[in-house]
A = this chain, B = another copy of it.
Amino acid sequence: MAKVDTSLVAHLPLFAGMTPEALDEILREARSARYPKNSAIFEQGADAQSFFLLLHGHVRAAKTTPAGEQIVVRYVTPGETFGLAMAIGAARYPATAMAVDDSVVLIWPTSAWPRLVERFPALAANTLQTVGTRLQESHTRILEMSTQQVEQRVAHALLRLAKQSGKKLDHGIEIDFPISRQDIAQMTGTTLHTVSRILSGWESQGLVESGRQRIILREPHKIVVLAERSVDSGTA
């Protein structure tokens, strides 16, 4: 197995409350791998043979309908785990994971999970914590889809991306991985056309600056206002 530097990952929530020795033992079971931009890490429906921890880069998890429509479940940022099918007792991946940037991951064989959990119960507790948080976020997303208009949802989505993976600029925040209108549409439950129109509108108001797979929030605060304003208070 490839040796991984413990100091890089020791602070992650996944390993909270663990001794250096335990951490070392867990890492010994992992190997690391590099996935180039736009390569698939695993496909929805495939045998869940591994689970992953992202070290560098960005990964998009997306779910596809039988008819071929997609939604983006989430963007994985460094330090987060993904592909935890086994934790929920699933034999197959429920989504497809794709590197949107050159990415480096740690990989554990799924078969190692039961043993690791038995030996290090904190692992299950920590994973429960993160999965629980994701469930929360998922409910929030459903709430937004049910109650907000598309423009507000797009505003929220961009703010979240900026918070998660924003690079601070002199004036504004840039989302630091390639993301298309289509991607944002799939995060907010709309079409790329509508997203394009919304961003065009914002651009002409100076709220954002954007181009091919690239978005900079120039006036984050004003976007917060857009995100929070209730439907009918527009002309108030």
Contact = CB atoms under 8 A, between A and B. Distances in A.
Interface in A52-84: 63, 65, 67, 69, 71, 73, 84
B230 A139 contact: no
Residues of A contacting B: mostly = helix
B189 A142 contact: yes
Number of copies: 2
A84 B132 contact: yes
A192 interface: no
A133 interface: yes
Contacts of A63: 139-140, 143
Interface stretch (A120-128, A164-172, A200-208): A120-128
Nearest to A230: B67
B67 A136 contact: no
User: How big is chain A's contact interface, by range?
Assistant: 35 or more
Interface string A166-210: 000000000000000000001001000000000000000000000
Nearest to A136: B94
Contacts of A124: 121, 124-125, 128
Interface string A84-118: 10011110001100000000000000000000011
Given A90-B136, A127-B128, A145 B147 contact: no
A129 interface: yes
A195 to B, nearest CB: 13
8 contacts: A87-B132, A94-B139, A117-B121, A121-B124, A128-B128, A131-B132, A131-B135, A142-B142
Interface of A: 63, 65, 67, 69, 71, 73, 84, 87-90, 94-95, 117-118, 121, 124-125, 127-129, 131-136, 138-143, 145-147, 186, 189, 230
